Amino acid sequence: PVLFIAMFACFLMGASAFQIGSSSSRPHIATISSSQLPRAPSSSSLYSTPMKDFPAAVDTESDGSTTDFIFSEISTNDVVVFSATYCPHCVQTKQLFERMGIPAKIINLDKISNGLGPAKDSVAVKLLELTGQRTVPNVFVLGKHLGGNDEAQDAARSGALKQMLSNTNGLAL
């Protein structure tokens, strides 16, 4: 099954975008070459990582309800974490928001029917298409893609996360 997922991902992204092997930080089956992914422009010098704005309206003729679901969640919640219950990095991100007293909408992809998997309408595949990020946690703040656990931790350490949320209604940090 793992080989099938890697082959399917190669089909979706183009074989040249994948590298089989392992990185120095952790072993993996397939990774997307960072040079092949689009990078979001930084929306402000306040942020320690690039943030990506998402449009208010999206053409969903081909995507249907999965894309609608993603955009609905990130547009109606100040903080959204697409997560997996078994992921230690996701646990660290969730604990970060809890410690900071920031209410976050947690969506565990392994607990929803179309959350994970190679199907092109799965939430994980749509998130990859939208953000270029293939891992969880996948964090959005005020409708903008922040990144994963490392970016969330860095933004918290630098004060950028608190700054980003300090001007929102209802969140007193």
Q: What is the pLDDT of residues 152-173, one digit of tens each?
A: 999 999 999 999 998 765 554 4
139 in Cβ contact with 154 (< 8 Å): no
Type of residue found at 48: S
pTM of the model: 0.64
Looking at per-residue confidence, does 5 or 76 come out higher?
76
The whole-angstrom separation of Cα 112 and Cα 126 is 14
Please give the C-alpha separations between residue 107 and each of 7, 13, 45, 83, 149, in angstroms, as whole numbers: 26, 25, 29, 6, 15
Give the least confident one: 9-13, 76-80, 128-132.
Answer: 9-13
**What does the mean pLDDT of the chain come to?**
73
Q: What is the pLDDT of residues 64-109, one digit of tens each?
A: 689 999 999 999 999 999 999 999 999 999 999 999 999 999 999 9
